[in-house]
A and B are shown apart, each in its own frame.
Chain A
Amino acid sequence: MTSTSTNRSRYRFRSFPAKAAKTIYLRLAAYGIECESMLIANPAPITKRSLKIVPALCLFLASLAILFFAAYPMYVIRPFREQRPAALERALWVLLHDKALSLIVASLLTALAPLLWRRAGWIAKLLLAPAMGVAVLAAALTWINPFEHMFHPLGEPTYLAADRAAIDANDMVIAVTLGGESRAYPIREMGYHHIVNDRLHGLPIVVTY
């Protein structure tokens, strides 16, 4: 409880003293971030550069949040690292949902940012520009899994007759035999491509190593 309230107060942004006539809330409840911006009824001496600084900051934080969202599965599911079951479950959930969610946030962000832009001071503009960039980058990242590009897929498999294949006698193969048809998958090839979608004796099979 205590830690939650500290977090909240740390991220609570009040732009002006409580002279407000109208308040706009932008909540990112999931992240415990709460932003408030106030429109002043009687514009007191506000310097132009700080105009719209709070909504701009909120959009900037939102863009960072979806960037984190897109990067999280890449962090958890990276090679040569133990994947803890709970983290893997979260990462897979994110992988299945991040395309839609980041697309919504990125569209909202790129729609809102230009609206703010006209009335924004230069500090707000300094936040809005990277916010749009980061949001688009994050949305694009959700369509890319860098680790799926580490090894080139084999594509449509082709074969050699057993007596024509240049494989060392001592090299190990994965052998699958179905209805009298036998096929050998050399482990040195499988260790690179990892997955082969194939068909043997009419049956669609996948061979993995």
Chain B
Amino acid sequence: MRDEETGSYWQQVTGSAIAGPLKGEQLSLLPQDELSFALWRKEQPNGTVLAPLPRYAAKYDKATWENEVAKLPAVIHGTKGSLADRDTIIGVVSGGAAQAYPLTKLTAQSPVVLDVLGDQPIMLVLGPDGKSVRVFSRQIAGRVLEFYGHSATKPGDPWTLVDDTTVSGWTFDGCAVSGEMKGLCLTRIFALKDYWFDWQHYHPHSGIFRH
């Protein structure tokens, strides 16, 4: 990215200026989500959507863009580890440790992945749409919770997320809606959905989750 005011060049993934008058400056990353449109609309019925420009609508990506992009060559070579360059991962950084969680580890049958990363107990959870992923700290009110859940394997199945310790029910938003924990919300942890080659480029010491 280049800014028009100073002509500095910025790295998209990290938000830091790598050349020009603002070299060394850092943009602050805002909390964000990568969600299916249906799920976002359900959570944010009053939200607004970026309108398409009719002039360029024909040039926008097709609905099958993910399959097309997956065929493109990776632009960084020498990727190490057991994953293919364009395997989709959820990248998490916590307590100085980086870990890549292959998206295939999260399925409707088993939508929760529990881990401890950089001494922080964390949870990855697949949303009710079977596409969106959020990451939370499992540490709340002085306790570390163990979660389990299941997602819709056929339409109409309810999506549930329950913790073993207090048997409270939780939403995909990370807030308890029933049980002892009702009213409390877990802390969100920033996660990046990325290709393995790209994630590894920015986090050369990243591990790969294997359980």
Interface residues of A (CB under 8 A from B): 80-83, 89, 92-93, 95-96, 148, 152, 154-155, 157-163, 165, 167-178, 181-193, 195-196, 198, 205-206, 208
Contact = CB atoms under 8 A, between A and B. Distances in A.
A161 B45 CA distance: 9
Contacts of B55: 152
Interface centre among A158, A172, A181, A184 (most CB of B within 10 A): A172
Contacts, number: 153
A191 B51 contact: no
B40 A189 contact: no
A192 B87 CA distance: 22
B59 to A, nearest CB: 6
A205 B32 CA distance: 12
Contacts of B70: none
Interface in B1-27: 1-2, 7, 9, 12, 18-20, 27
Contacts of A177: 31, 33, 44, 47
Contacts of B50: 154, 157-159, 183-186, 189-190, 196, 198
Given A82-B77, A162-B44, A172-B36, A178 B49 contact: no
Given A83-B75, A186-B37, A189-B50, 6 more contacts: A80-B72, A159-B49, A167-B49, A176-B32, A184-B44, A208-B12
Interface string B44-82: 111111111101100111110100000011011100000
B141 interface: no
Interface of B: 1-2, 7, 9, 12, 18-20, 27, 30-38, 40-41, 43-53, 55-56, 59-63, 65, 72-73, 75-77, 129, 131-132
A178 B72 CA distance: 35
A152 B47 contact: no
A158 B51 contact: yes
A92 B18 contact: yes
B60 A189 contact: yes
Given A80-B72, A158-B51, A168-B37, A182 B56 contact: no
B43 to A, nearest CB: 8
A160 B48 CA distance: 6
A183 B35 contact: no
Contacts of B38: 169-170
Given A82-B75, A170-B129, A159 B51 contact: yes
B9 A81 contact: no
Contacts of B32: 174-176
Contacts of A171: 36-37, 63
Contacts of A152: 53, 55-56
Given A81-B75, A82-B76, A93-B19, A182 B37 contact: no
A196 B32 CA distance: 15
Contacts of A169: 36-38
Nearest to B12: A208
B72 A96 contact: no
A188 B61 contact: yes
Contacts of B65: 187-188, 191
A173 B40 contact: yes
B98 to A, nearest CB: 19
Contact of A170 (B1, B2, B37, B61): B37
B60 A170 contact: no
Nearest to B32: A176
Contacts of A186: 37, 49-50, 52
A83 B12 CA distance: 15
A186 to B, nearest CB: 7
Contacts of A183: 47-50
Contacts of A95: 9, 19
B49 A160 contact: yes
A35 B1 CA distance: 41
